[in-house]
């Protein structure tokens, strides 16, 4: 099983190099906001950073073996406060709430007023920070304006736009970027993912380690992907279209995933064409689609993307996924057949 390390994040850029040095020296700021798309490791980094700041071991932090590291890993350290959606820390708040209520922030403030053990830092991790109610955010704002001594508050969010601008202005913002394909391949190799599948995953996961690991163990996704490729790119017979659309008529719940797979392959075509990658990635397509990539009008590729976008809109107002799928299948089959 993959064990994440703080030093892996050096690849995220200069801000992370500086922050990692400050974590080791325990000279961090009092408030941070970690932001970026899902699956980029924000929560993992926050957890490791908190663990390192509480670590009492010698050498590189977190050591993973000192009592502080063990307690932090099990979320039982007295100087670690974790707030997240659906897991309240205030006694009177019901579990599984869709938001983080003001009562949790008030309880956090109360806990921060208690003396830390052995003069340690106190670490506050607020996961899903965009789920805080406006009342909760305003309550937190007062704490950020006059933060308790020896306290580091880390907010984690995919949706910074849902955070009050006054809170953002009082935090040091750390932006998480998509990971490079080479690094994702290294992780998948360590997880034992077959090389061919790993390359496919690295291309489709958009730099998200979380998504890459999910895809590696998701056999249903790969079966669906094979279905989509066979129906839209390998089929050359109009008479077969009904057969394929029939397979999906009762699977409207998979529509968005089908559209995502299809969209990825069309964008891959565009990427190959625009970057002149005739020897890389093009072999995944049948010969007639390879000719389309090399010689076809780029506007045709863009038209395919527009058709997928239009199908997404149609599916919102139509329960007949089969009809929407058939329209797309006719378009792709016709475009591909023009290059036979």
In a domain, 150, yes or no: yes
Token code pair at residue 46: 């926050």
Same domain as 232, residue 165: no
Q: CATH no. for residue 90?
A: 3.40.50.300
Residue 322 is predicted with a pLDDT of 93
CA pair distance 294, 282, nearest whole angstrom: 9
In a domain, 189, yes or no: no
- Residue by residue, DSSP assigns 162-221 as GS-HHHHTTSEEEE--PPPHHHHHHHHHHTT--HHHHHHHHHHSTT-HHHHHHHHT-HHH
pLDDT in tens, 153-166: 999 999 999 999 99
Domain boundary residue, one of 175, 204, 238: 175
Task: For residues 222 and 168, state if they share a domain.
Answer: no
3-state secondary structure (DSSP) of residue 156: strand
At residue 75, the pLDDT reads 95
| Residue 190 resides in a domain | no
pLDDT (0 to 100) of residue 203: 84
Residue 264 and residue 152 in one domain: no
Q: How many domains does the chain have?
A: 2
Question: Which 3-state string (H, E, C) describes 52-75?
Answer: HHHCCCCCCCCCCCCHHHHHHHCC
Does the structure show a pLDDT above 80 at 318?
no
Q: Considering the domain boundaries, does residue 133 fall inside one?
A: yes
- Tell whether the torsion through CA atoms of 61, 62, 65 and 71 is positive or negative: positive
Q: Are residues 129 and 274 in the same domain?
A: no
pLDDT tens string 52-86: 999 999 888 999 999 999 999 999 999 999 999 99
Q: What is the DSSP letter of 147?
A: P
Q: What percent of the chain has pLDDT over 90?
A: 76
The position carrying tokens 């956090």 is 108
Q: Tens digits of per-residue pLDDT, 254-299?
A: 999 999 999 999 998 998 888 876 666 788 889 999 999 999 999 9
Whether residue 223 sits in one domain with residue 126: no
Same domain, 228 and 170: no
Residue 211 is assigned to a structural domain of this protein = no
Is a pLDDT exceeding 70 seen at residue 2? no
Residues 43 and 115 in one domain: yes
- Residue 122 maps to a domain: yes
pLDDT over 70 (residue 315)? yes
Determine, yes or no, domain membership for 208.
Answer: no
Same domain? 34 vs 144? yes
Q: Which domain holds residue 164?
A: 6-175
In this structure, the answer to whether residues 14 and 149 fall within a common structural domain is yes
> What tens digit of pLDDT does each residue of 7-66 get?
999 999 999 999 999 999 999 999 999 999 999 999 999 999 999 999 999 888 999 999
Domain boundary among 175, 205, 232: 175
Is residue 89's pLDDT more than 70? yes
Last residue of a domain, one of 118, 148, 175: 175
Same domain, 296 and 226: yes
Question: Does residue 147 carry a pLDDT above 90?
Answer: no
Is residue 89 included in any domain, yes or no? yes
252 and 141, same domain (yes or no): no
**140 and 14 belong to one structural domain:** yes
> How far is residue 144's CA from residue 109's CA, in Å, rounded to a whole number?
11
pLDDT at 279 (0 to 100): 62
Residue 259 is predicted with a pLDDT of 95
């Amino acid at each position: 099983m993959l064990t994440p390390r703080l030093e892996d994040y050096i690849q995220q850029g200069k801000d992370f190099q500086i922050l990692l040095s400050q974590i080791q020296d325990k000279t961090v700021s009092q408030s941070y906001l970690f932001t970026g798309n899902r699956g980029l490791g924000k929560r993992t980094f926050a957890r490791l950073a908190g663990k390192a700041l509480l670590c009492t071991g010698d050498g590189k932090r977190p050591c993973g073996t000192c009592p502080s590291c063990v307690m932090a890993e099990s979320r039982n350290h007295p100087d670690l406060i974790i707030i997240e959606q659906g897991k309240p820390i205030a006694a009177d708040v019901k579990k599984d709430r869709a938001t983080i209520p003001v009562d949790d922030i008030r309880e956090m403030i109360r806990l921060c007023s208690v003396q830390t053990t052995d003069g340690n830092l106190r670490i506050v991790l607020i996961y899903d920070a965009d789920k805080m109610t406006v009342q909760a955010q305003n309550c937190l704002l007062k704490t950020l304006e006059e933060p308790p001594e020896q306290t580091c508050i880390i907010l984690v969010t995919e949706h910074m736009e849902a955070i009050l601008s006054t809170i953002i202005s009082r935090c040091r913002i750390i932006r998480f970027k998509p990971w490079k394909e080479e690094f994702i391949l290294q992780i998948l190799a360590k997880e034992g993912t077959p090389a061919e599948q790993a390359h496919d995953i690295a291309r489709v996961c958009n730099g998200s380690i979380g998504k890459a690991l999910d895809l590696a163990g998701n056999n249903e996704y790969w079966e669906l992907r094979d279905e989509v490729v066979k129906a839209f790119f390998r089929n050359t017979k109009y008479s077969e279209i009904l057969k394929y659309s029939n397979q999906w008529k009762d699977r409207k719940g998979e529509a968005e995933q089908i559209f995502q797979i299809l969209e990825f392959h069309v964008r891959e075509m565009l990427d190959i064409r625009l970057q002149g990658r005739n020897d890389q990635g093009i072999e995944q397509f049948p010969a007639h689609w390879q000719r389309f990539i090399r010689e076809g009008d780029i506007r045709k590729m863009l038209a395919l993307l527009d058709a997928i976008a239009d199908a997404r809109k149609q599916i919102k107002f139509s329960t007949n996924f089969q009809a929407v799928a058939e329209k797309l299948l006719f378009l792709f089959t016709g475009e591909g057949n023009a290059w036979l």
